[in-house]
């Protein structure tokens, strides 16, 4: 399983051949000075921003990073619109980008075609005469990235990270998380989902759409009952259950994996990994006992649901009404151009990235950020040395891992080859997207049994995010994150260490969070901790879980500290380590205050700015259930209440709401 540990903080690249807009390093207009920073630092630092940037109707949440994402979308849209089919070469990647983009814009054609593009797929599903035929249908859908019942993919072997093996994992829940099905508090959402299924069945011409929706939901209910929870899915060691193909076929006989792999063209394997054995046992029983017609209706629901974004407006309207409006609180659809440009950006991501960096990325900034990475790596080493709960032997292993970090900044040295991916405008939009998905699945399966390509990137340069990958022990910062408020070449060091510095430190800390710590310097899942050190770590992280569990998000809904533990560890480590790197960078000369704020204050204000946002209650509830990241307010206020240098920077004292007694503070890294 390739596990990427993401910070999920978008931004944009610095343009090297266009004039960037002026950006205040620390903008007083973002503040709410009616509240003391010692009482509610998040509101103090971002309350003005929230007031001045009301939630737009097409968003369920909108923050400083969304402002930058919007700008990025406009840049990409301009790049796509500038591709002229009369000048681009047929078969070129530019032709593929342009044709996909234009098909997405062509609402007249999409609405005229209606459900027609789905008809061959629907007929194939309905034609399955028995369970063997159903297995062949499932394999065909898996080959185009639709994953009813379960998913299959190739990735690094967790205990032998140089080689790639096959993984099988639970999948197939339309609403995404088991709790939506098993928790009675979600009854209203569940009813809305059933109505959505009925709508798309009717639009597709399925007989008795309401019965089909009931059948589909009944199967999803059974799958949900067997599914592991989001917290259980974070236990990487429990997810690693190796066996051979022969063992798999014997253990789950009714799923008929021999037929499944033959349909996918995958030979017998001496070693593959089952992610959730108990889930597959329940699925095996379900497959042998459930009504064939009911299972067909479930598969139809998965198939049609996955196609809604590439069909006529009535399909997308049904999708929007449930998933966007009811689940997230969005009031207005995104304009068609945004939806259209997102498809080539996703399917031809590195080709788009190559265009993006050619116009917008500053190579000088790459060198500056690399220098910061070096400073932060040194600071993390100092923190390891200073730990009072870790033994010298484990510290030595931690240093080995830290020194082995691979750093990727900007864009890959080798671009992905899309020459064999065909985009044919004579085919429907849905067919082209489905064919591209098949190309990706085939590309993934072609890696089976081959060495891992450690030069490969798992994010495109234009992606406004960052990641740590434990199996390659690498940290990656795409070009698109190197712009304010994360990185500002015109700002002082305090602001940049509070922004991109914390992002860098955050990703490094992921190598030592509750998941990343299970992997060694070479990316192998290997226990390099003494038993006493591991227990000390678990004791500290359990206290951090409790701190976040105490936070009431909405009446009766509390944060899930266990689900967000890895990100919360990385946030805290990111702040502490980047702060040390900042202080080290000052040397013997401490900078004077700027705009009335000390360097230390500017550091923490810069960090809080990253998380300024407005958000609907529906989205708060949804993210609390699904997202491994805490809500922005808690990434600021709860995390800072453990950091003594924050207290001293803003004179936070006992009795203040932001204060936490020293014996209750959690310091991990």
Is a pLDDT exceeding 70 seen at residue 627? yes
Is a pLDDT exceeding 70 seen at residue 366? yes
CB-CB contact of 352 with 97 (8 Å): yes
The Cα 570–Cα 145 span in angstroms is 31
Is a pLDDT exceeding 70 seen at residue 489? yes
For the chain, what are the domain ranges? Answer: 5-13+60-77+347-664, 131-310
Judged by average pLDDT, the poorest of 6-10, 46-50, 480-484, 589-593 is 6-10
pLDDT tens digits, residue range 236-289?
999 999 999 999 999 999 999 999 999 999 999 999 999 999 999 999 999 999
Could you tell me the pTM of the whole model? 0.93
Q: Residues 555-576: what's their mean pLDDT?
A: 97
Beta bridge partners of 476: 408, 467
pLDDT averaged over every residue in the chain: 94
Stretch (H or E) spanning 410: strand 406-410
Is a pLDDT exceeding 50 seen at residue 85? yes
Q: Residues 36-56: what's their mean pLDDT?
A: 96
Confidence category of residue 5, pLDDT binned at 50, 70, 90: very low
The pLDDT of residue 193: 98
Is a pLDDT exceeding 60 seen at residue 491? yes
Burial state string for 241-276 with b = 16 or more CB within 10 A and e = fewer than 16: eebebeebbeebeebbbebbbebbebeebeebbbbb
The pLDDT of residue 32: 97
Confidence category of residue 17, pLDDT binned at 50, 70, 90: very low
Q: Which residue has the higher pLDDT, 10 or 440?
A: 440
The Cα 388–Cα 536 span in angstroms is 10
Confidence category of residue 669, pLDDT binned at 50, 70, 90: very high
The pLDDT of residue 69: 85
pLDDT tens digits, residue range 184-214?
999 999 999 999 999 999 999 999 999 999 9
Is a pLDDT exceeding 80 seen at residue 11? no
User: CATH code for 131-310?
Assistant: 1.10.1380.10
Q: Which residue has the higher pLDDT, 1 or 160?
A: 160
Is a pLDDT exceeding 60 seen at residue 668? yes
Give the tokens for residue 576: 């502490």
Q: What percent of the chain has pLDDT over 70?
A: 96
Confidence category of residue 23, pLDDT binned at 50, 70, 90: low
Q: Residues 515-530: what's their mean pLDDT?
A: 97
Tally the C-alpha atoms within 13 A of residue 39's C-alpha that lie toward its C-beta: 8
Confidence category of residue 65, pLDDT binned at 50, 70, 90: confident
Closest CA to 585 of 488, 494, 487: 494
Judged by average pLDDT, the poorest of 83-87, 422-426, 514-518 is 83-87
Domains 5-13+60-77+347-664 and 131-310 share a fold: no
**DSSP helix/strand/coil, 244:** coil
The Cα 360–Cα 364 span in angstroms is 12
Instruction: Please list, in sequence order, all residues whose beta carbon lies within 8 angstroms of the beta carbon of residue 231, skipping any fewer than 6 positions away.
Output: 560, 562, 563
Q: Residues 398-424: what's their mean pLDDT?
A: 96
* Rounded to 5°, angle at Cα 155 from 622 and 523: 95
Q: Residues 439-460: what's their mean pLDDT?
A: 96
pLDDT tens digits, residue range 112-165?
999 999 999 999 999 999 999 999 999 999 999 999 999 999 999 999 999 999
Confidence category of residue 25, pLDDT binned at 50, 70, 90: confident
The pLDDT of residue 22: 54
Is a pLDDT exceeding 60 seen at residue 358? yes
For residue 411, the 8-state DSSP code is S
The pLDDT of residue 7: 35
CB atoms within 10 A of CB 457: 23
User: CATH code for 5-13+60-77+347-664?
Assistant: 3.40.390.10
CB-CB contact of 141 with 150 (8 Å): no
Is a pLDDT exceeding 70 seen at residue 476? yes
Crossing angle for the helix pair 565-586 and 531-549, to the nearest 10 degrees: 100
The pLDDT of residue 483: 87
Closest CA to 483 of 3, 163, 25: 25
């Amino acid at each position: 399983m390739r596990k990427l540990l993401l910070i999920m903080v978008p931004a944009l690249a610095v343009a090297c051949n266009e004039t960037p807009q002026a950006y205040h390093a620390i903008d007083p207009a973002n503040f709410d000075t009616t509240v003391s920073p010692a009482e509610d630092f998040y509101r103090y630092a971002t309350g003005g921003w929230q007031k001045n940037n009301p939630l737009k109707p097409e968003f369920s949440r909108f923050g400083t990073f969304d402002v930058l994402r919007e700008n990025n979308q406009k840049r990409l849209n301009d790049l796509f619109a500038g591709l002229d089919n009369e000048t681009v070469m047929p078969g070129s990647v530019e032709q593929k980008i342009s044709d996909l983009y234009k098909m997405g814009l062509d609402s007249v054609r999409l609405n005229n075609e209606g459900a027609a593009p789905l008809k061959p797929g629907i007929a194939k599903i309905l034609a399955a005469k028995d369970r063997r035929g159903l297995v062949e249908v499932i394999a065909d859908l898996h080959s185009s990235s639709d994953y009813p019942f379960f998913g299959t993919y190739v990735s690094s072997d967790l205990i032998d990270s140089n080689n790639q093996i096959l993984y099988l994992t639970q999948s197939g829940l339309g609403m995404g998380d088991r709790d939506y099905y098993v928790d009675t508090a979600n009854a209203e959402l569940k009813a809305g989902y059933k109505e959505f299924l009925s709508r798309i069945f009717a639009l597709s011409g399925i007989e008795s759409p309401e019965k089909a929706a009931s059948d589909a939901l009944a199967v999803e209910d059974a799958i949900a009952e067997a599914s592991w929870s989001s917290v259980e899915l974070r236990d990487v060691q429990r997810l690693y259950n190796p066996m051979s193909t022969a063992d798999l076929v014997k253990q789950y006989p009714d799923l008929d994996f021999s037929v499944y792999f033959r349909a996918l063209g995958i030979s017998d394997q001496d070693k593959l990994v089952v992610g959730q054995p108990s889930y597959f046992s329940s699925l095996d029983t379900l497959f042998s006992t459930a009504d064939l017609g009911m299972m067909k209706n479930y598969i139809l629901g998965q198939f049609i649901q996955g196609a809604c974004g590439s069909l006529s407006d009535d399909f997308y309207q049904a999708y929007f009404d449930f998933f966007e409006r009811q689940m997230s609180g969005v009031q207005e659809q995104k304009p068609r151009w945004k939806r259209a440009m997102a498809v080539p950006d996703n399917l031809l991501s590195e080709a788009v990235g190559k265009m993006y960096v050619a116009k917008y990325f500053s190579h000088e900034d790459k060198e500056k950020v690399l220098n910061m990475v070096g400073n932060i790596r040194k600071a993390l080493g100092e923190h390891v040395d200073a730990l009072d709960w870790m033994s010298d032997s484990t510290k030595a292993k931690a240093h080995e891992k830290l020194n082995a970090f691979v750093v990727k900044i900007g864009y890959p040295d080798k671009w992905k080859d899309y020459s064999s991916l065909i985009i044919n405008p004579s085919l429907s939009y849905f067919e082209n997207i489905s064919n591209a998905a098949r190309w990706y699945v085939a590309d993934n399966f072609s890696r089976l049994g081959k060495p891992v390509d450690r030069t490969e990137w798992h994010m495109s340069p234009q992606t406004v995010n960052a990641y740590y990958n434990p199996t390659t022990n690498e940290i990656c910062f795409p070009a698109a994150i190197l712009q304010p408020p994360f990185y500002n070449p015109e700002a002082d060091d305090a602001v940049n260490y509070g922004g991109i510095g914390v992002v860098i430190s955050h990703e490094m800390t992921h190598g030592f969070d509750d998941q990343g710590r299970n992997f060694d310097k070479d990316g192998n899942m290997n226990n390099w901790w003494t038993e006493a050190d591991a227990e000390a770590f678990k004791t500290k992280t359990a206290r951090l879980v409790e701190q976040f569990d105490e936070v009431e998000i909405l009446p009766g809904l509390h944060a899930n500290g266990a689900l967000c533990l890895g990100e919360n560890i990385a946030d805290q480590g990111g702040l502490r380590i980047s702060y040390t790197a900042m202080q080290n960078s000052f040397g013997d000369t401490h900078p004077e205050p700027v705009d009335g704020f000390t360097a230390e204050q500017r550091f923490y204000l810069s960090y809080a700015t990253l998380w300024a946002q407005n958000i609907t209650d529906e989205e708060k509830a949804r993210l609390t259930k699904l997202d491994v990241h805490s809500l922005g307010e808690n990434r600021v206020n709860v995390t800072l209440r453990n950091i003594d240098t924050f207290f001293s920077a803003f004179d936070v004292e006992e009795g203040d709401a932001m204060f936490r007694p020293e014996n209750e503070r959690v310091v991990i890294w």
